[in-house]
Amino acid sequence: MLSPIVAGTDATTRTSSTFAPPVMEARRWLAGVEHPKDRPLLNVSQAAPVDPPPPPLREAMADIILNQPDSHLYGPVLGLPALREEVARQWSNSYRGAIAPDQVAITSGCNQAFAAAIAALCTEGDAVIIPVPYYFNHRMWLDMSGVATIPLQVGPGMIPDAAQAEALITPHTKAIALVSPNNPCGVEYPAATLRAFFELAKRHGIALIVDETYRDFDSRDGAPHDLFSDPDWADTLIHLYSFSKAYRLTGHRVGALVASAARLAEIEKFLDTVTICPNQLAQHAALWGMRNLSDWLAGERAEILDRRAAIEDYFPMLSTKGWQLLGNGAYFAYMTHPFAMSSAELAKRLVRDASVLLLPGTMFMPSDLPGGDRQVRIAFANIDRAGIKTLFTRLSDLPY
């Protein structure tokens, strides 16, 4: 059994119980580095689109600012009623389930949705099971909440196994948290895997948190799972989502959380204390996007799927040099490197030697577990097929 990661043993404050934000740390590696004119920086460190929302959405947002006075005022803590209704309607259709508007909350980004869920589920000394490699912000929030992270090592294809997770459940376990398509590995969890975890959580009376931030870029047609078709889904499932990736609203911070109305009553306490209400402009923008941008979003998905295919197409450039592709999908490719150094050292050297900024696997793994020092994550949301070829050319030319 893997040892729990218990934060705060020697911490003096909640924030000192965890590590520095990885993306911000990586950005500091750029300080003082000048890149040759013929080798501009390739920043594949963060999974966020850098382009603004499409022009029609920006025009709609301008109109909202000018002509909807309520967009400048406090709104309901759990979000804009029309947006909650739209999420409930579209999710019910796409997942072939029954989701009511009072089972939807709008949050200030998906990270806040996770934080709110944990606040409603856990107290100090509780535990949450998370597959490793993990999304580092999830670990950071658990640390700052005094909640132990129980690492579940993934199996073949970077897929976690519910049977192995069952062995980690104790009376302190309050939830299992999964991300699919996965961050950092990119893999899409099979429907059977998610169902197995749902049944496991249901059997033990704990929550299953499923973060589907990247659901719009899943390569599969149709619903990626059938969890919402269960008539009692709300007793077990907490579903998280981000509008940021779909509609390029990253700076506006708008996400969603779907759970039972009873859980949302507890979550409302957290949200009211932290932000009072989600950003009003962001909510109206997300609603407009859901109603008007389905064709545009389909084109965005097609482009991301082509970049995923480009990773596969060009990877032989790296596999012949000893690299291994562990996972690929949504915004991410996760791989091992062949060099006689830690990925933490490699990532810093790549900034100067190859004008590449990526994140080392050590940022996604507990320090006492093996693997992270051989792994790196590439976020390809902002490099196209040609950029991926350039990236792989630089990595294959490394002299180490």
Last-in-domain residue among 293, 312, 341: 293
Range of the domain at 209: 70-293
What average pLDDT score do residues 43-71 get?
94
In a domain, 7, yes or no: no
- Based on the fold, state whether residues 226 and 370 are members of the same structural domain: no
Q: How many C-beta neighbours within 10 Å does residue 324 have?
A: 14
pLDDT digits (tens, 9 = 90+) for 326-341: 999 999 999 999 999 9
Q: How far is it, in rounded angstroms, from Cα 301 to Cα 223?
A: 15
User: pLDDT tens across 102-160, in order?
Assistant: 999 999 999 999 999 999 999 999 999 999 999 999 999 999 999 999 999 999 999 99
Residues 377 and 321 in one domain: yes
47: left (phi over 0), alpha (psi -120 to 50) or beta: beta
> Do residues 116 and 244 share a domain?
yes
User: Are both 91 and 159 inside the same structural domain?
Assistant: yes
In the listed set 276, 293, 310, which residue is the last one of a domain according to the structure? Answer: 293
| pLDDT per position as a tens digit, 285-324 | 999 999 999 999 999 999 999 999 999 999 999 999 999 9
Higher pLDDT, 46 or 394: 394
- Domain membership flag for residue 2: no
DSSP 3-state of 155: coil
Contact status, residue 364 vs residue 326, Cβ threshold 8 Å: no
| Same-domain check for residues 131 and 258 | yes
387 domain residue, yes or no: yes
Confirm if 377 and 145 have CB atoms less than 8 A apart.
no
Q: Are 25 and 76 members of one domain?
A: no
173 shares its domain with 303: no
pLDDT at 5 over 60: yes
Boundary of a domain, candidates 275, 293, 311? 293
Counting the structural domains of the chain, the total is 2
Q: Are residues 34 and 147 in the same domain?
A: no
CATH label of the domain that carries residue 358: 3.90.1150.10
Q: Average pLDDT of 343-350?
A: 97
Given the structure tokens 């790549």, which residue do they identify?
350
> Looking at the domain assignment, is residue 195 inside a domain?
yes
Residue 63 forms part of a structural domain: no
316 within domain boundaries: yes
CATH code of the domain in which 263 resides: 3.40.640.10
